[in-house]
Structure 1
Amino acid sequence: MSPLWTSAEIAAATGGAASAEFAVDAVAFDSREVGPGALFFALTGETTDGHKFLEQALASGAAGAVVSQATAHRHVLTSDTMAALENLARASRARMDGVVIGVTGSVGKTGTKEALFDCLDRPEPGQAHRSVKSYNNHTGVPLSLARMPRDTRFGVFEMGMNHAGELATLTRIVRPHIAIVTTIAPAHTEFFDGEEAIADAKGEIFQGLEPGGTAIVPFDSPHRDRLIAAATGHAARIVTFGLGNGADVRAVEVMHGQPGGTFVTAKIGAEKTLSFTLSQPGDHWVANAMAVLAAVDAAGGDLEQAGLALGEMGGLAGRGARFAAPVAGGEALVIDESYNANPASMRATLAVLAATPATRRVAVLGEMRELGEQSGDFHADLAEPVTAAGVEAVLLVGEGMKPLAAALEGRVELVHVPDAASARVSLDAMLRAGDAVLIKGSNGVGLSRVVAALAGRG
C-alpha cells in the first residue's frame, strides 16, 4: 500500500524543507494521538507550543514532524506550522478524485456525518473517509483532510462555527461537491443577533461548492428560503429534505416503536422509494436520515445499502449511546447525550426519553452555554418539554440552570447542583432500578464524567 504522505510530498505541499526521506501513514497535532508511523504537527498558539511535545510524539512512534524550529529528528521545517497544516489539507483535497461532502448545522451535524459515512462505506469498506470526533473547526477540518487516503472515493467532513465568516473559510478548503445544512436552532447566540444571523452563517457552507455542486437544505426549517437564497448562485442543484409535503426527499411513512427501531418509507425525488428500519430513536433522527439519503443519492451511492446501514447504526458516545448501569436492586438505562446541548437538541432528546419505556424517567440536564442575553429564557422554556416527557426526577447542573429550577419548582422531584462532581454524588442517591436517565448538557459542563462513572460500574 502507498503511504499516506512521503516527506517529499509534505515538503512540496507546505513549502518546507525535509531533513531526510520518510513516509507516514497518519497525521496528528495532539501528541496523545500519535502512534507508530504518524506525522506530528507541532502547532503553536497563544497558550501552547507543540514543539514542547515533540519528544513525546517521537517516543510514541512518530515517523517525522512538521516544525518551525530546528530539531535533530526527522522533520519538515516550515515557517508556520498551522499554515503548513492548511496547505497539506489543500494538497490532500487536490489529489482526491472522489466525491466530497460537507456537513454543518446547529443540531445533528456529527450524527449525520457518521451516518453518511456508514452509508457510503458499507458497500465497500475503506472507500469512505470522514472527520473523526467533532474535529470541525479551523484546526480539526484541515487535520481531517490531511488524514484522507489518496484513493478515497467519498470524503465526509463536518464543519462548525461560532462566528460569522468561519464556515466561508473552512468550506473553501474542503471544496465540497455536496453541502448539507441539517438544522438551524439557537446555538452560540451569544455571538449572533438572532436565528436569521445563524442561518446566514451556516449558509456560508455553500460558498465553497464545486461547479455543478448540490446544496441540501432542511425543508421544514423556518429558514428554508433563507438557506435556498444562500445556496443560489453557488449550487447547480438545490435539494430539500424533511417530513413535510413538498420536500424533495421526504419520509412518507414513519412507524415508531417497531422491533429494531423506527420503520421509515422515504421518497427520494420523483421516482425512487426506499423502506428501511432506522436504529436511532426520535423524529429528529428521521429528519437526519432524509438528509443522509439526499446526500447518498446526490453522490451516486447505493441507496439500498444506505438503508441497511441506517438500521445497523449504534449510538454514538455523547450523542445517544445507551447502556445499562447497575444500581441498587437492578439496573438503570442510561442515555448518553453528554457531548453538547442547545434548546433544540434538549427538546429533541427529551422527546426520545418520553418514548423510552421505563419505571421512572430521570433527566440530568447541564446548563446550555453561549446563549447570550436570552440564556435565562431558553433555560426556563425547557420546563414544558421536561414535564411533557413525563420526567419525574430532574438533576440540574450549573449556575445557568437557575431559571429552569425556578420554573420546575414543585412540579417534579428536583435537585440543583453547581457542577459535574456534585452531580455524580447526587445521581447516585437519585437513581433506582428500572429508571431511564437522560444525561445532557453543554460539553464544558463535564457531564461526560458522570456518564463514565456510571459506565465504569460494570
Structure 2
Amino acid sequence: MNARQLVQGMLKAWPVDPRDRLPLPLWFSHDIEVATGGVSSHHFQAAGVEMDSRDVRPGDLFVALKGEAMDGHKFLPQAFAAGAVAAITDRPVDFPHVLVENTTAALHALAHAARERGNAKRIAVTGSVGKTGVKEAIFNALDRASRGGAHRSVRSYNNHVGVPLSLARLPARARYGVFEMGMNHAGEIAPLTDHVRPHVALITTIAPAHIENLGSMEAIADEKAQIFTGLVEGGAAIIPADSEYAGRLIDHARRLGVEVVTFGRNEAADVRLLDAIPAANGGSLVTAELGDARLCYTIAEPGEHWVANSLGVLAAVRAAGGDLAAAGLALAEMGGLKGRGARLQIAVSGGKALLVDESYNANPASMRATLRQLGQTPALRRIAVLGSMKELGDFADRFHRQLAEPLAEAKIDHAILVGDEMRALAAELGKDGAKSLGIAPSFAHCKGPAEAIAALEHFGLTHGDAVLVKGSNSVGLGGLVTHFTNASG
C-alpha cells in the first residue's frame, strides 16, 4: 500500500458526525431573517452577538435593544466603528441591518432558533451562592471532554437580557451549553428556564440572598425551584441534599415528573461525599460515591463550600452525559474568578501578602463560608475587609450582627467594615463584653471604598498577611482590590 492509498483509507475511516454538516459561522443574515421575521438590508455572516457597543468585536451582530432609560440605536456608530457587521434594529438605518418590529422580541426569537437548530445538551444553574463558579466548573469539565465543544454564559449574564443573549450565542455545532440564571424577585426564574429548556437544572444552595424582595427562605426556595419548570422531558433536577429546604425542592421537581438527583454529605444523597482532606495546593482531595462508582479527585479551589459545589458539578456532568474523569481534572485546574475567589499575591512591606478577591457578591451564607476559609488559611495575620450585604431588608441588622461569630471563629486580627449596613456589626464588635473576652478583632468602620483603602493602608500590610475582600458589588470593593494589586506592580 502506497502513501496515497494509506491517506485515502484514513480519510474514509474518519468518524462522521452530523454536526459537521452544520454551519461554522454563528449566524447568516438569511437565518436571522427566518428566526426573527425581519428583513435584511444586506447579506452577511456574523461571528458573535452583542448588545453593548463597548463590548463589540469585529464580526459581531449588534442588537439595538431599547430600555426604559437607554436606546441601543443611539450607539450604532460606536458598534460599527468597533467592527460590527450588522445590527438588529426596529427602524431603517444607514448601516447593514435586519429590520424587525421589536428588538427584544427578535433577540428572544434568535435565542430560541439557536436552541433548536443543534442538539447541544443544555445545563441551567441557579442558587443563592456559588452559581457562577459552578457554571464555570461544569463548562470546563464539558469543554475538556468535548475538545472545545462546550459553550456557556460569560461573566454573570444571568438575567432577562443576559440569558437570551447567551443562548443566541450558542454555536450550531456545540455539544453542550451551560447557562447561569439569577433572580431578585419572584417570577424571574421561570421565563429564563423557558428560554433555555434545559436537559439538566442544578440548584447550588438556598441562602438568604434577596430576602428583602422575597420575604422568607421558603419563598426563595420556591422561586429557585422554578428552574425545573423548563426542563425537557426526561430532564434531571440536581438538588443539594444537605439544604434544610431539600425536601421542598424535591417536591417541586417530583410534581413536574422529572428525574431527581441529590448531592451532598447526606447518606441518602445520590452523589455523596465520602471523604475530604486538605490538599497541598490549598484545595481539597475528595472521594465521592456516585451510586455505581467512586471517584477520587482534587479541587484547586479552597473551602468546604467548594467540596459541596464539586459534588453538584459531578452530578450535572453525569446527568448531561459528560466524562467524570474530565470533570475531576477540570476541578483540579480551576482558579478563582475575578471578584469570586481569585487569590492574588500583592507586594507589601517585607515581601508578599495574599489578597482573596470576593468583591463581586455577598450574602450571609457566603460571608460565613469565606470567613471560615480565611480562618483556615496559613497566615501571620488575617484581615477581613467586609462590605455591606444588600437586599436583606428588615433582616439586614440581624444578619450583619451575626457576622461577629464567624469573625471570632476565624481568629481575624483586624476587620475593616464598609457601608451603612455594617454599622450593626461594628456596634456588635464594639460591645464591652466582646472586647474584654478578647473575641472581637480590632476594627474600623468606613463609609465607602476610598475610606477603606486609607484604613487598610493605615493599618499596614506586611509579609505573610492574608486579606479577604468581600461585599456586595454595589459597595464597590472591586476598586480596593484594583488599588492594591496595581500598587504592588
| Fold shared per TM-score above 0.5 | yes
Q: CA deviation at 1:302?
A: 0.8
Aligned to 2:468: 438
Cα distance in structure 1, aligned partners of 2:456 and 2:156: 28
1:346 counterpart = 2:367: yes
For the pair 1:451 / 2:450, whether they are aligned, the reply is no
Q: Does residue 147 of the first structure (1) align with residue 169 of the second (2)?
A: yes
Q: Which of residues 294, 298, 301 in structure 1 aligns to 2:322?
A: 301
Number of residue pairs the alignment of both structures matches: 457
Q: 1:3 aligns with which of 12, 25, 30?
A: 25
Cα offset, 1:246, TM superposition? 1.2
Distance 1:68 1:46 in 2: 16
3-state SS, counterpart of residue 255 of structure 2: coil
Query: Structure 1 residue 372 and structure 2 residue 393: aligned?
Result: yes
How far apart, CA to CA, are the structure 1 residues paired with 2:311 and 2:24?
36
Answer yes or no: is the 8 Å Cα contact 1:216–1:240 preserved in 2: yes
Return the offset for 1:259: 4.2
Whether 1:172 and 2:194 are equivalent positions in the alignment is: yes
Residue type at the aligned position of 1:429: H
Separation in 2, partners of 1:330, 1:68: 58
8 Å contact kept, 1:209–1:235: no
Corresponding position: 1:252 with 2:281: no
1:174-189 to 2 correspondences below 5 Å: 174-189=196-211
| Contact 2:197–2:230, Cα closer than 8 Å, also in 1 | yes
Report Cα offsets for 1:274-295 as digits up to 9, x if no partner: 0011111111101100000001
Shift in Å, 1:125 = 2.8
Secondary structure of the structure 1 residue equivalent to 2:87: strand
The secondary structure found in structure 1 opposite 2:413 is strand
Stretch deviating more after TM superposition (341-350 or 43-52): 43-52
Task: Measure how far apart 1:233 and its partner are.
Answer: 3.2
- Contact 1:420–1:450, Cα closer than 8 Å, also in 2: yes
Q: Can you list the C-alpha shifts for 1:369-402, whole angstroms capped at 9, x where unaligned?
A: 0001110001000000011111010000000100
Q: Residue by residue, what CA displacement relative to the aligned partner does 1:303-331 show, whole Å, maximum 9, x if unpaired?
A: 11111111011111111111111122222
Matching residue of 1:333: 354
- Does residue 1:206 correspond to 2:250, yes or no? no
Deviation at 1:257, TM superposition (A): 4.1
RMSD: 1.1
Secondary structure at 1:454's aligned position in 2?
Answer: helix
Q: Matched residues in 2 for 1:120 and 1:237: separation?
A: 21
Residues 146 and 175 in structure 2, CA contact (< 8 A), matched pair in contact too: no
Alignment of 1:12-411 (within 5 A): 12-259=34-281, 261-268=283-290, 270-409=291-430, 410=435, 411=440
AA paired with 1:339? Y
What SS does the corresponding residue of 2:128 show, helix, strand or coil?
coil
User: Which residue identity is paired with 1:90?
Assistant: H
Partner secondary structure for residue 314 of structure 1: coil
Aligned-pair distance for 1:260? 5.7
Cα deviation digits, residues 343-392 of structure 1 (max 9, x gap):
00000000110111000000000000000111000100000001111101
CA distance in 2, matches of 1:259, 1:62: 43
Q: Deviations over 1:390-415 (max 9, x none)?
A: 10100000001000001112421111
Runs of 4+ in structure 1 deviating by more than 6 angstroms, as ranges, are none
The answer to whether the Cα contact below 8 Å between 2:282 and 2:302 also exists between their aligned partners in 1 is no
Q: Aligned with 1:138: secondary structure?
A: coil
Alpha-carbon distance in 1 for matches of 2:24, 2:200 = 28
The structure having more radius of gyration, on CA atoms, is: 2
CA distance in 2, matches of 1:11, 1:281: 48
Q: How has the CA–CA distance of structure 1 residues 275 and 445 changed in structure 2, closer, same or farther, with 3 Å as cutoff? A: same
One-letter amino acid matched to 2:127: G
C-alpha distance in 2 between matches for 1:352 and 1:83:
44
Alpha-carbon distance between aligned partners in 2 of 1:13 and 1:445, rounded to the nearest angstrom: 41
Q: Which runs of 5+ in 2 are unaligned?
A: 1-22
Q: Secondary structure at the match of 1:222?
A: coil
Letter in structure 2 aligned against 1:41: V
Counterpart of 2:446? 417
- Conserved? CA contact 1:338–1:442, under 8 Å: yes
| Deviation at residue 433 of structure 1 after TM alignment | 2.3
The Cα shift of 1:180 comes to: 0.4
Amino acid at match of 1:426: A
Matching residue of 2:13 = none
The residue aligned with 2:12 is none
Q: Secondary structure at the match of 1:258?
A: coil
CA distance in 1, matches of 2:427, 2:282: 39
Whether the 8 Å contact between 2:64 and 2:87 is mirrored in structure 1 is yes
The farther-off stretch of 423-432 and 57-66 is 423-432
Number of the residue aligned with 2:18: none
- Which amino acid is the alignment partner of residue 383 of structure 2? V
TM-score, normalised on structure 2?
0.92
Amino acid at match of 1:420: P
User: 1:235: how far off?
Assistant: 4.3
Q: Distance in 1 between matches of 2:410 and 2:397?
A: 21
Question: Between the two proteins, what is the percent identity of the paired residues?
Answer: 55
